């Protein structure tokens, strides 16, 4: 039994293009001698399709595309069986389905039984749940089909086993977050050892707005042994050959199954993929970003070049009276090393103009963050002007630590189309910067940028620690509060100062209005701002004493 995994990257809503993608991958699988080729969850339309599902034209295109695939399977693929994800409409309900076709005939449809409704998922808004297994004879082997969340629960796989399945196929659209691969592998191992059936797990790859799908499809033997692990963040078609033995189907262990996973590499590659797909799938000709000489913009520039190529990246230095010489030097050095188009626009004339315009209104008041934010907003205005003129999208450079507590300027450094670091805590920013240099074998990001104390450079001799605790202290508090929903009391019990924790939690609450106006950005943690964490802006809630 030869099973081809088609780990592919569909474009949301491009039904015709995704149909061609399925056909190309099916052709490759057929040429490789596969008996069956398995595609990701909802590969025909993309995941998650959200309210597109409600549009009559969307349904019509889906149904027409399935007819195209049926005709093509009859004409071009012999006995190759195609298993792909698509919405199914019936009696006023919509199902998240796996469609099985062979030689021009539809062998069956499986309706996803376990509909996730947590975190980034809200499938119960759209889909009705199935309740029946699907087990089919494919070239002499009884194959059970499941979809994504089904394998996180015991019942669907057990149903398939009781219906006679010898092999399980699982279609997935499982988004990435840190350490997600280990979670998935543990779940697959649990299901195969419980059922004593091997499983082929095919996952989606590609960026979709704030989600990124990392692929990492896999095949497991019934013993719990991983026989194959697909690459991260890349499309591929791989054939897994199962042999029939007295104990059932068994696949040989490939070299690809024994790969040491580098967690920093997984995160970095996921961010790169998310940026690439957001820019290219939305047809932007390139990106522009402000390059300050600080660590955040330096990492964003490195990501942008890896995602799009240097020729599609523009960097703009925008020094002020407070910008240190080393900041300009380091920014220029990185821009030259990475080969991007860059230039410098001093903001001092605009700052002077705005200060003059506001002098009468601000008379008798002290300098404060107002004047600092004017500088940030001038920079945002310049970048957006370049974006308007060239069509390039602005990449924002704020990280999760800053946006969590409001240490970013609304309509200033928050202005832009996409935030590569939106879900990256500051301490992780430093780790990724070091990883980039180590993996490149050269100093892409100047070491001085990594080593110097972080500063917004919006007032004389400013350091982030003037306003914030060190990030080594701040980030764990943010993680406990945001990722784990821990109370102030629980965090303090871990050894953190109560006054500091209350201050940080208060800043998180006060800045919800800012975050809900921020650009989209890739999710890489368990709980990103946006789809994962939904809090009211207007709220009288106060943390309890305990």
| Catalytic residue annotation | 41, 112, 148
H or E element: which one contains 93? strand 93-102
Alpha carbon 57 to its chain's center: 28
CA dist list (Å): 285 to 317, 373, 387, 393:
21, 30, 10, 8
Q: In sequence order, what are the residues at sequence separation of 6 or more whose Cβ sits closer than 8 angstroms to the Cβ of residue 446? A: 298, 330, 333, 334
Residue reference for tokens 């099973």? 3
Given a contact cutoff of 8 angstroms between Cβ atoms, the answer to whether 535 and 189 are in contact is no
The backbone torsions φ and ψ at residue 239, rounded to the nearest 5 degrees and listed phi first, read: -100, 125
Closest CA relative to residue 32, chosen from 70, 83, 77? 77
3-state SS, residue 188: helix
The DSSP bridge pattern shows strands 135-138 and 105-111 to be unpaired
d(CA 526, CA 243): 38
The DSSP bridge pattern shows strands 167-172 and 141-147 to be parallel
d(CA 65, CA 99): 12
| Beta-sheet strands, E only, within 340-392 | 341-344
| Beta-sheet strands, E only, within 313-465 | 313-317, 341-344, 393-394
3-state SS, residue 448: helix
d(CA 228, CA 255): 8
Structure tokens, 161: 């086993």
Give the chain's largest Cα–Cα span. 89
d(CA 374, CA 370): 6
Closest CA relative to residue 172, chosen from 225, 257, 112? 112
Residue 27, strand partner residues: none
Strand order in the sheet with 236-241: 105-111, 93-102, 81-90, 36-38, 2-7, 236-241
SS3 track for 17-48: HHHHHHHHHHHHHHHCCCCEEECCCCCCCCCC
User: How is residue 90 annotated by DSSP?
Assistant: E
- Count H helices and E strands in the chain, helices first: 16, 20
């Amino acid at each position: 039994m030869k099973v081809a995994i088609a780990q592919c990257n569909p474009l949301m809503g491009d039904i015709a293009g995704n149909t061609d993608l399925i056909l190309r991958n099916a052709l490759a699988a057929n040429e490789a001698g596969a008996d069956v080729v398995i595609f990701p969850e909802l590969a025909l339309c993309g995941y998650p399709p959200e309210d597109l599902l409600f549009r009559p034209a969307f349904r019509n295109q889906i149904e027409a595309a399935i007819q195209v695939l049926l005709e093509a399977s009859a004409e071009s693929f012999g006995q190759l069986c195609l298993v792909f994800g698509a919405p199914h409409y019936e009696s006023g309900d919509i199902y998240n389905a796996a469609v099985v076709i062979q030689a021009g005939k539809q062998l069956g449809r499986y309706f996803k039984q376990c509909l996730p409704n947590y975190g980034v998922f809200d499938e119960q808004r759209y889909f009705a749940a199935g309740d029946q297994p699907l087990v089919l004879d494919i070239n002499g082997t009884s194959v059970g089909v499941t979809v994504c969340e089904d394998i996180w629960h015991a019942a669907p796989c057990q149903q398939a086993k009781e219906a006679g399945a010898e092999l399980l196929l699982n279609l997935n659209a499982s988004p990435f977050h840190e350490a997600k691969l280990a979670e998935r592998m543990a779940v697959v191992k649990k299901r195969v050892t419980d059922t004593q059936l091997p499983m082929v797990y095919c996952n989606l790859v590609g960026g979709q707005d704030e989600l990124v799908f990392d692929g990492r499809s896999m095949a497991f033997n019934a013993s719990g042994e991983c026989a194959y692990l697909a690459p991260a963040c890349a499309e591929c078609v791989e054939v897994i050959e199962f042999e029939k033995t007295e104990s059932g189907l068994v696949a040989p262990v490939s070299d690809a199954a024994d790969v040491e996973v580098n967690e920093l590499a997984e995160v970095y590659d996921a961010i790169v993929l998310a940026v690439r797909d957001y820019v290219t799938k939305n047809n932007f000709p390139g990106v522009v970003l402000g390059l300050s000489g600080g660590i955040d913009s330096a990492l964003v520039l490195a990501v942008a070049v890896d995602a799009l190529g240097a020729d599609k990246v523009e960097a703009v230095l925008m020094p002020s009276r407070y910008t240190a010489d080393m900041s300009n030097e380091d920014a220029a050095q990185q821009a030259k090393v990475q080969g991007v188009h860059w230039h410098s626009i001093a903001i001092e004339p605009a700052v002077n103009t705005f200060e003059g315009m506001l002098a009468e209104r601000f008379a008798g008041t002290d300098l404060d963050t107002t004047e600092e934010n004017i500088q940030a907003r001038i920079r945002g205005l310049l970048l957006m002007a370049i974006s308007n003129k060239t069509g390039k999208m602005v990449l924002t450079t704020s990280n999760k630590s800053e946006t969590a507590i409001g240490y970013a300027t609304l309509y200033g450094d928050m202005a832009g189309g996409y935030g590569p670091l939106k879900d990256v805590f500051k301490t992780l920013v430093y780790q990724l910067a070091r990883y980039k240099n180590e993996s490149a074998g050269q100093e892409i990001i100047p070491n001085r940028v990594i080593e110097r104390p972080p500063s917004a450079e919006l007032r004389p001799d400013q350091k982030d620690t003037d306003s914030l605790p060190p990030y080594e202290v701040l980030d764990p508090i943010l993680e406990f509060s945001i990722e784990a929903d821990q109370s102030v009391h629980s965090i303090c019990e871990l050894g953190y100062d109560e006054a500091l924790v209350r201050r940080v939690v208060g800043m998180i609450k006060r800045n919800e209005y800012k975050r809900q106006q921020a650009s989209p950005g890739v999710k890489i943690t368990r709980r990103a701002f946006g789809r994962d964490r939904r809090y009211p802006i207007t709220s009288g809630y106060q943390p309890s004493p305990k």
